[in-house]
Structure 1
């Protein structure tokens, strides 16, 4: 799939970026190359290849799910102008 200058300009417009006229042909060539590479990757036979999330067979060390910090909510909310039931009260913005 070849990308032409008009398509590059349309992509730039949608992305809200400005591209100099001199650079459009270079971007068209680069994007065409990227799409050709993606198409080439799509043609690779992956039958029998097991999907994986990461190339290394690693597991994360897990720690116990325990509270390690004291509850300082009252301290943090002491400077707030309005608090109710542990929640900060703010003025209504949308009616």
Structure 2
């Protein structure tokens, strides 16, 4: 069961890294540091959006419209951190 805990934590770590990369890349695109007309940037941005849209879409349904501000990544990030804390506090269940 210890290996199951480690696999879940590894998956959550990968998701955390992908979300951080997506958030930072969205800031860089918003501040026009990165240009989505460049093929490599466009491919990475498209891939990150395809990976994270299934996570963000259900959250966006519950959030009220905030104009141009998208809070779905922040809410998903908080949920991910809370899930990690819950798993770490209940590691005895996996032993």
**TM range, smaller chain:** 0.3 to 0.5
Which structure dedicates a bigger proportion of its chain to helix? 2
For CA contacts below 8 A with separation 6 or more, give which structure has more relative contact order.
2
TM-score (norm 1): 0.32
